[in-house]
Copies of this chain bind each other. A is one copy, B any other.
Amino acid sequence: MATIRNGSVDGFLDLLITSLNRWGVLADEDSGALLDLTYKVRTVRAQEYIVRESYPAQYCSLLVSGFAIRHKIVGSGRRQIVSILLQGDLIDLHNSMFGTADHNVQMLTRGKIVTIPRGEIRKLMLKRPNIAKAILMQILLDSSILREWMAGIGRRDARTRIAHLLCEFAMRMKAAGLATGMECDLPMSQEQLADATGLTPVYVNRTLKQLGEERLIHRTSPRSITIADWQRLSEAGDFNSGYLHIPAGDPSG
């Protein structure tokens, strides 16, 4: 792990720029300022915690490769996954602003993260309004997804929730350029799917089986899922991509 200045040489910061510029709000000078950030690259193991609830944090980080989750653990010890983080997502801006984390962030798979000192991000946001705006939009997108999940957990049945999760994941993977067609890796165990949907592993298993029998999905290996019929799966999942605020419509196209 080495401290590096001017990231244009290795491309780690390019991902940050691409991600923040999703809505086209950055000017060239903004990108330049981002490239001047001091950062460290860290390889993280599967299951490793990046952020722990109620802990202070000195760094703001970006997920460069691999998958991570945000989750909370309630008093009874049960866990709820509240977000899935993909390549290019900001991991803990929350810490940078509040100083203490209100949830955990844990790697799902092995991966790499880039950490930036908290102060640098804060200074940059004050100095470059476009960057602040881009970050705000990222956070707003995040909360939009949170609301959609909440509506699902509160008001949709198990089959609908799982179908919805699969549709969302596939579409986000596609938007991030991590999947091309109908098949994508699903880096989650059934227990993790259960924690994301507010169900139990056993019931997730049964529901996946049912979706397979209905020919909505096709399962080759346990960790990879092919959407066999996007149209019907998105209907089953009550999935309407508006809340993702991305231009594309159908990942089959």
Q: Which residues of A contact B (CB under 8 A)?
A: 53-54, 70, 72, 74-76, 78-80, 82, 93-94, 97-98, 100, 102-103, 125-127, 129-130, 132-133, 135-137, 139-140, 142-144, 146-156, 160, 195, 197-198, 238, 242-243, 245
A242 contacts across to B, CB distance below 8 A: 53-54, 100, 102
Which residues of the partner chain B approach A152 to less than 8 Å between Cβ atoms? 74
CA A253 – CA B127 in complex, angstroms? 40
Interface of A is mostly: helix
B80 touches A144 (CB 8 A): no
Q: Does the CB pair B129–A125 fall under 8 Å?
A: yes
Given contacts A102-B144, A135-B136, A146-B147, 14 further A-B contacts (CB under 8 A): A54-B242, A74-B238, A75-B160, A79-B155, A80-B154, A80-B155, A82-B150, A94-B140, A94-B143, A102-B243, A126-B129, A139-B140, A143-B146, A153-B154
Partner of A198 from the list B137, B140, B144, B155 (CB cut-off 8 Å) is B155
Q: Are B151 and A150 in contact (CB under 8 A)?
A: no
Closest to A82 in B: B147
Q: Which residues from B are CB-within-8-Å of A79?
A: 155
Could you tell me if A133 and B125 are in contact, using CB atoms closer than 8 angstroms? yes
Please name all residues of chain B whose beta carbon is closer than 8 Å to the beta carbon of A102 when the two chains form the complex. 144, 147-148, 242-243, 245
Name which residue of chain B comes closest to A137, CB basis. Answer: B97
Residues of B within 8 A of A100 (CB): 242, 245
With a cutoff of 8 Å between Cβ atoms, the chain B residues found around residue A140 in the complex are 93-94, 97-98, 139
List B contacts of A149 (CB < 8 A): 150
| A238 to B, closest residue via Cβ | B75
Which B residue sits closest to A74, measured CB to CB? B155
Residue of A53, A132, A160 with most partner-chain B CB within 10 A = A132
A53 to chain B: closest residue by CB: B242
Determine if B80 and A151 form an interchain contact, defined as CB atoms under 8 angstroms apart: yes
The 8 Å CB contact of A72, one of B103, B142, B151, is B151
| Structural contact, A155 and B82, CB atoms closer than 8 A | no
A146 and chain B: residue at smallest CB distance: B146
User: B97, B98, B130: which contacts A126 (Cβ < 8 A)?
Assistant: B130
